[in-house]
Structure 1
Amino acid sequence: MREWFIQRLEFPSRTVLNRKIPKKAFFTQADLSTSEKEIFTSQIEGIYLLSVMNQQSMNIPVFQTDDYHYAEVVWIYVQLREKKNINRIISAVHKSIPNPLVLIMESSDGEILMSTCHKRINRNDNTKVVVEHPTITNWFESKAEDGAYTKLLNALTISNLSFENLYCIYNDVHQWLKCEKLISLVGSIPVSIENREKVVYIMDKVQENQREVGQLQHEQKGQLDFGAKMEFHMKIKRQEQQINIQLQQIKELC
């Protein structure tokens, strides 16, 4: 599957390593807890350094600001024994590598999950990074011949990404993976970067409204007065109507 993925996304040969990394290398680097080490040992079959993209291998400029230093984009491939404690594994891998990381996970039945997250320089200690909230896709069949996930993999093909600098190429991947959530919502993803930016903005609003609906539903359960329950019901309906309008806007852009 690793070789298939390398070919499918058309990794430049100079960036490809496809080299196994010992699990123990992550233990000290990320200062993993005993339970995290146990998860790595029992549930991960193997970890591979799939690709390293930098100025030397791809002739893409380094990106440096007060908040970000992107000198390499690292692609890591993890083969799992079972789909358990996925979020903990994702978090541990991201925090173990200071460079921006594209994480690809393969389940025992051949499904794929991908994750990215931006990393900022720690203002209190510039030798460390602050790991932002990760974007995590759903599990999907990587070798599907058509459909939304084919569009996603086409968008992620390396030659289709931005080569302006290493931040841009990583952010391109990050934004496309954020769009993966649309597949379960509207059945497709946008086909242009211009529409992608509009869609991601609207999708953030959808998620805010969905969180608000969840909070209102939780508060509604604690109400004993019928009038108060109805008031919460109407608030929930208004939020749901707004979500439906936003999803229709997304559909028109996909």
Structure 2
Amino acid sequence: MREWLINRLQIPQRTVLNRKIPKKAFFTQTDLSTTEKELFTSDIEGMHLISVMNQQSMNIPSFQDDEFNYSEVVWIYVDLRITKNINKIASAIHKAIPNPVVLVAGSSEGRILLSTSHKRLNKNDKAKVVVDQTAITDWFNPREENTAYSNLLNALIVSNLSFENLHSFYEDIHLWIICEELIQLIGTIPTNSVKREEVVNILINVQKHCKDVEQLQLEQKGQIDFGNKMELHIKIKQQEQQINLHLQQIRELC
């Protein structure tokens, strides 16, 4: 799968390492909790450093400001024995590696998922980073053609990404991975990066309304008074109407 994915995303050969990362070495060089180490031992079959992309290998300028210091983007592939703890494993990998990581996880059934997370400089210690919220896709079959997921992989072909600087390059990947949620919601993704910017902004509103619905539903379950239940029911319907309106806006953009 690793070689297939390298070819599918047209990762430049000059950046490809495809080198095994011993889990023991990963433990000794990173700050993982005991629970995270146990997950790596029980759930992960193997880890590989697929590619290191920097100014020398990709001719993309590094990027540094008060928030970010991006001199390399690393691609990690993880073969999983068990997939149920992938969110915890992805978070641990992003936390452990100071460079921005494009994480690809593979299952024994031949499915993959993708994950990214921006790394901001720690304001109190510039030698450390703070990990932003992790973006992670659902599992999908990458070999299926003419699907929304094949369109996602097309968008992630390296030559289709921004080469302005390494932060823009990584942000391009990150935003496409965020857009994957739309495949589950409406069955498609934007056709280009220009429309994607507007779509992501609307998607953030959808996510907010979805959280509001979840909170209202929890409140409703705890209510005994019928009048209060009906009031919460009306509020839930109002939030759902907003979700549907936003999804319709997204459909028109896609």
Q: Is TM > 0.5 for Structure 1 vs Structure 2?
A: yes
Runs of 4+ aligned structure 1 residues displaced above 4 Å come to none
So what's the TM-score if we normalise by structure 1? 0.98
Which residue in the other structure is 2:55 paired with?
55
CA deviation string 1:159-184 (max 9, x = no partner): 00000000000000000000000001
- Counterpart CA distance in 2 for 1:165 and 1:17 is 22
**1-side partners of 2:86 and 2:140: how far apart?**
15
| Deviations 1:141-174 (CA, angstroms, capped at 9, x unpaired) | 0100111001100000000000000000000000
- In the TM superposition, residue 86 of structure 1 has moved relative to its aligned partner by 1.1
Shift of 1:233: 0.7
What residue is the counterpart of 1:160 in the other structure? 160
Q: Distance in 1 between matches of 2:24 and 2:9?
A: 29
- Aligned-pair distance for 1:29? 2.9
Higher mean displacement: 244-253 or 36-45:
36-45
Letter paired with 1:39: L
Question: Any gaps of 5 or more consecutive residues in structure 2?
Answer: none
Q: Residue by residue, what CA displacement relative to the aligned partner does 1:115-165 show, whole Å, maximum 9, x if unpaired?
A: 000000001111110011100100000100111001100000000000000
Matching of residues 13-162 of structure 1 within 5 Å: 13-162=13-162
Give 1:210's aligned residue. Answer: 210
Asked if structure 2 preserves the Cα contact closer than 8 Å seen for 1:74 and 1:100, the reply is yes
Measure how far apart 1:202 and its partner are: 0.4
1:184-223 → structure 2 map (5 Å cutoff): 184-223=184-223
What corresponds to 2:233 in structure 1? Answer: 233
Q: Deviations over 1:1-44 (max 9, x none)?
A: 00000000001111111100111222133321222212111211
Letter in 2 for 1:129: V
How many percent identity over aligned positions?
65
**8 Å Cα contact 1:26-1:93 kept in structure 2:** no
- Aligned residue for 1:169? 169
Return the alpha-carbon distance in structure 2 between the equivalents of residues 234 and 29 of structure 1. 53
Query: Partner letter of residue 85 of structure 2?
Result: N
**CA positional deviation for 1:224:** 1.7
RMSD: 0.8
Whole-angstrom distance in 2 between the partners of 1:240 and 1:84: 29
Query: SS of the residue aligned with 2:49?
Result: strand
Deviates more, 1:220-229 or 1:71-80: 220-229
User: Do the aligned partners of 1:121 and 1:129 also contact (CA within 8 Å) in 2?
Assistant: yes
Aligned partners of 2:235, 2:206: CA distance in 1, in Å?
Answer: 15
Q: Distance in 2 between matches of 1:167 and 1:226?
A: 53
Match of 2:92, SS state, is helix
How many angstroms apart in 2 are the aligned matches of 1:84 and 1:214? 23
State the distance in 2 between where 1:171 and 1:31 align: 25
Q: Secondary structure at the match of 2:98?
A: coil
The 3-state SS of whatever aligns with 2:127 is coil
1:55 positional shift: 0.3
TM-score with structure 2 setting the length: 0.98
Unaligned ranges ≥5, structure 1: none
